[in-house]
């Protein structure tokens, strides 16, 4: 299949891949294993994606290291040694770099190269991918591995250019260590990134102001070194454990409660929450099977965490401000922290309520709010991302008839399985909108997508198909299904980035598929087994 069967114009490559994070790297490896030629473009100067860009102090993942790693290669899995339960950014990056070296992936990646456009040339059945520098290549297939959390929300505060100090975005952190010693620092944002960076900056800075607009729920990580016996046991049973994880809702081996919160006595419920708080991490939100569906059940879990905040934070007024009341626990991405709430007991840390006294502008000397001015030396923006669709709509992607993807998605993304878009033949999106993606252990969602795409390309080659495209009706049905499943949960009530609510003007749509990775994988596999139902395939000629 490395020769395009139909084309009057020969493609430069069988496939172009955009991005060299977990998704892009595995995609390159997979394409090569199918005997296809591939070129990848990566805006960064190295591999790693999220873990290349997010070098802020405190950055680490909140899925166990043994699970937040590739499963596709048995020897890799056996040989790599993790040091911690939740590894820090540097260790994850080292792992990804090791994978790139081990499989010799870098030779097909063009670094420091941002893709500006991808246009489908209909008569030739090719994608023409052009970089910001003006270089263009053609390929039969275009695979977007551009990330669901890779388009940082540029701080749009008035006056930022006047700021005389230094500012940072957590998602675009410098490669050199940043030293806040002796400084007065502002952190703006209290999502997962803000919650990780705040305790670290507090330890260094002379003074820290944390600007919080909306408080978030956070569960302690209780991170610790990974004992050898745990690692050895995992490796012994890895195949079985991975299969089990992939069949779950979240692609991770959480203990998924099998009963509703009201099906147990108050004492038992308390014991369950206590045990999960003591174990730490996102496992907490799986204590009972109705926490994402029943607000009254959810309130029990939320109240438990609210109680913990009151216990940890000494000043009741500050504790009250840190206590989330606007959303059900878990409907915004649950945060996992090390000493976040306790950080507000420090004398050098001040919580600023950016809801009561919103930030009005950045000045030369600091931050102006409706309640006063805060002079600072540095600002850390932990203000998040244009999630799931942002990296895609920032590229000028055009399908049949020159239709732009951004225009097609004006009222919300429309995909079939989060993998393909009607009108955009031979364009695949890894962890695209309408797939489980960021509701899961994302590495497992990535592997499932890459493997599905690989199988699909193999099927096409066997059947001499040169084009695959989502059928409009299949896409419409999938979009409706994604919406219906989401509407049966509490997710749709929250002003979260899952719902596009963090970006002014973004349509209010639940971006990922809430049905769970295991269920979703079954659907994808059935569709493939049924001759790629809902996809139109065409041969050359
Ligand atoms: P990315 O890692 O985002 O890689 C995409 C790459 O595409 C980037 O390097 C980007 O530069 C490149 N790119 C994008 N657009 C272009 C373009 N136009 N031209 C060229 N290159 C482009 N997930 C979990 O499951 N567990 C966690 O604990 C977890 N922690 C996270 C912590 C942080 C701070 C963040 C931001 C995300 C976290 N995630 C976590 C989600 C994480 O993004 C995924 O787990 C995973 O790393 C995504 O891999 P990816 O390859 O799909 O995307
Ligand atoms: P985020 O969850 O979107 O949080 C952004 C924060 O910035 C919010 O608190 C938001 O407040 C605030 N903000 C935005 N604009 C503001 C303004 N004008 N004034 C004041 N505050 C403002 O982004 P994130 O923290 O970067 O996390 C994004 C996702 O990345 C996470 O949900 C998670 O999936 C992943 N992540 C994971 C980890 C991990 O522990 N594994 C760590 C970091 C990131 P509002 O809520 O009021 O909008």
Statement: residue 9 has pLDDT above 80: no
CB 437 near ligand 2, within 6 Å: no
pLDDT band for position 154 (50/70/90)? confident
pLDDT band for position 10 (50/70/90)? confident
Ligand that lies nearest to the alpha carbon of residue 442, given by its number in the listed order: 1
463 CA distance to ligand 2 middle (Å): 46
217 CA distance to ligand 2 middle (Å): 12
* Residue of minimum CA distance from atom 43 in ligand 2: 193
pLDDT value at position 541? 61
Q: Where are the beta strands (DSSP E) in 332-430?
A: 335-337, 349-353, 359-362, 366-369, 372-375, 378-381, 396-398, 427-429
Predicted confidence (pLDDT) per residue in 332-386, tens digit: 999 999 999 999 999 999 999 999 999 999 999 999 999 999 999 999 999 999 9
190 CA distance to ligand 2 middle (Å): 6
Predicted confidence (pLDDT) per residue in 429-483, tens digit: 999 999 999 999 999 999 999 999 999 999 999 999 999 999 999 999 999 999 9
Q: Which atom, in ligand 2's list, is nearest to the CA of 359?
A: 19
Predicted confidence (pLDDT) per residue in 100-139, tens digit: 999 999 999 999 999 999 999 999 999 999 999 999 999 9
> Ligand 2: which of 191, 221, 223, 511 to mutate, most ligand atoms within 8 Å of CB?
191
Domain boundary assignment for the chain: 13-151+386-539, 160-220+252-381
Contact 287, 273 (CB under 8 A): yes
* Residue of minimum CA distance from atom 10 in ligand 2: 189
H-helix or E-strand containing 23?
helix 22-33
491 CA distance to ligand 1 middle (Å): 22
Which residues approach ligand 1 with their CB closer than 6 A? 18-24, 41-44, 49-50, 52, 54, 59, 61-63, 68, 114-115, 145-147, 149-150, 171, 193, 391, 395, 430-431, 438, 441-442, 446
Q: Please, which residues bridge with residue 279 across strands?
A: none
First to last CA, the chain: 16
Predicted confidence (pLDDT) per residue in 388-430, tens digit: 999 999 999 999 999 999 999 999 999 999 999 999 999 999 9
pLDDT band for position 96 (50/70/90)? very high
Ligand that lies nearest to the alpha carbon of residue 432, given by its number in the listed order: 1
In the block, tokens 């977007």 appear at 144
Q: Please, which residues bridge with residue 350 across strands?
A: 209
500 CA distance to ligand 2 middle (Å): 12
pTM for the complete prediction?
Answer: 0.97
> Ligand 2: which of 63, 384, 441 to mutate, most ligand atoms within 8 Å of CB?
384
Number of neighbours of residue 74 by Cβ within 10 angstroms: 11
CB 219 near ligand 2, within 6 Å: no
Contact 439, 514 (CB under 8 A): yes
HSE (side-chain half, CA atoms, 13 Å) at 416: 27
What is the distance, to the nearest Å, from the Cα of residue 94 to the centroid of all Cα atoms in its chain? 19
Architecture of the CATH domain 13-151+386-539: 3-Layer(bba) Sandwich (3.50)
Predicted confidence (pLDDT) per residue in 228-271, tens digit: 999 999 999 999 999 999 999 999 999 999 999 999 999 999 99
What is the C-alpha R_g of the chain?
23
Mean pLDDT of the chain: 96
CA-to-CA distance for 281 and 221, rounded, in angstroms? 5
């Amino acid at each position: 299949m490395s020769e395009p069967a139909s084309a009057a114009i020969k493609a430069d490559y069988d496939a172009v891949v955009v991005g060299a994070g977990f998704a892009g790297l595995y995609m390159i490896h997979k394409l090569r294993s199918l005997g296809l030629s591939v070129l990848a473009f990566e805006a960064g100067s190295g591999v790693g994606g999220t873990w290349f860009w997010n070098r802020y102090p405190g950055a680490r993942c909140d899925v166990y290291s043994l699970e937040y790693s590739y499963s596709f290669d048995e020897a890799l899995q056996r040989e790599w040694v993790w040091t911690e339960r939740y590894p820090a950014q540097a260790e994850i990056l080292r792992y990804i770099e090791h994978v790139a070296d081990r499989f010799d992936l870098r030779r097909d990646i063009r670094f420091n190269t941002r893709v500006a456009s991808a246009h489908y040339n209909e008569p030739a059945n090719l994608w023409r991918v052009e970089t910001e520098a003006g270089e263009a290549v053609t390929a039969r297939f275009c695979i977007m591995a551009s990330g669901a959390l890779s388009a940082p929300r540029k701080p749009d505060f008035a006056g930022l250019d006047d700021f005389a100090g230094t500012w940072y975005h957590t998602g675009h952190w410098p490669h050199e260590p940043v030293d806040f010693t002796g400084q007065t620092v502002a952190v703006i944002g209290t999502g997962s990134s803000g919650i990780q960076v705040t305790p670290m900056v507090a330890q260094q800075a002379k003074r820290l102001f944390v600007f919080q607009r909306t408080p978030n729920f956070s569960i302690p990580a209780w991170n610790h070194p990974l004992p050898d016996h745990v690692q050895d046991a995992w490796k012994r049973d890895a195949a079985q454990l991975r299969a089990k994880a992939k069949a779950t809702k979240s692609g991770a081996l959480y203990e998924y409660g099998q009963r509703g919160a009201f099906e147990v006595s108050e004492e038992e419920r308390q014991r369950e929450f206590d045990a999960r708080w003591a174990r730490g991490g996102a496992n907490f939100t799986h204590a009972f099977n109705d926490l994402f569906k029943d607000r009254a059940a959810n309130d029990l879990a939320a109240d438990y965490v609210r109680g913990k905040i009151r216990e940890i934070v000494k000043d009741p007024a500050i504790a009250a401000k840190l206590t989330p009341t606007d959303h059900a626990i878990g409907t915004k991405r649950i945060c996992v922290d090390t000493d976040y709430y306790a950080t507000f007991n420090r004398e050098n840390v001040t919580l600023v309520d950016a809801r009561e006294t919103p930030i009005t502008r950045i000045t030369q000397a600091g931050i102006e709010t409706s309640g006063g001015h805060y002079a600072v030396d540095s600002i850390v923006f932990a203000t998040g991302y244009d999630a799931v669709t942002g990296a895609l709509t920032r590229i000028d992607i055009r399908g049949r008839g020159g239709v732009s993807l951004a225009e097609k998605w004006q009222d919300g993304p429309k995909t079939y399985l989060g993998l393909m878009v009607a009108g955009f033949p031979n364009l695949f999106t890894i962890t695209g909108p309408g797939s489980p993606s960021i509701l899961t252990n994302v590495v497992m969602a990535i592997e499932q997508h890459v493997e599905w795409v690989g199988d699909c390309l193999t099927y096409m080659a066997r059947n001499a198909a040169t084009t695959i495209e989502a059928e409009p009706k299949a896409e419409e049905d999938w979009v409706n299904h994604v919406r219906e499943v989401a509407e049966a949960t509490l997710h749709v009530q929250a002003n979260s980035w899952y719902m596009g609510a963090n970006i002014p003007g973004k349509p209010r749509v639940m971006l990922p598929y809430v049905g769970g990775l295991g269920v979703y994988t079954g659907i994808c596999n059935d569709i493939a087994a049924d001759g790629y139902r809902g996809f139109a395939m065409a041969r050359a000629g």
